[in-house]
Amino acid sequence: MQRIACALIGSALALICALVALLLSDALAPGRIAPMLAFYGACGAGVALILGLSLLEQRGIGLPAPAIR
């Protein structure tokens, strides 16, 4: 479960970095990427990030809470 969560978080961060790079390169050559495509990509990355974080927060049913020492 943690591997899936970490993969979701990592892919979301990679997508956000790619979108930022595309939008910064678009400043030099306008019209390379559609703004709505960047918006939908950012929304997808946000959903993947939230899903990954919620998977990390879940504990299995019947498992004891971790002991804090």
pLDDT at 62: 55
Please check whether residue 66 lies inside any domain of the structure: no
Tokens describing residue 40: 């939908």
Entry pTM: 0.68
Cβ atoms of residues 8 and 45 within 8 Å: no
Please check whether residue 25 lies inside any domain of the structure: yes
Give kind and range of the element (H or E) at residue 50. helix 35-57
Please check whether residue 41 lies inside any domain of the structure: yes
Structural domain harbouring 43: 2-57
Q: pLDDT tens for residues 10-55?
A: 998 998 888 888 777 776 676 667 778 878 888 989 999 898 888 8
Total domain count for the chain?
A: 1
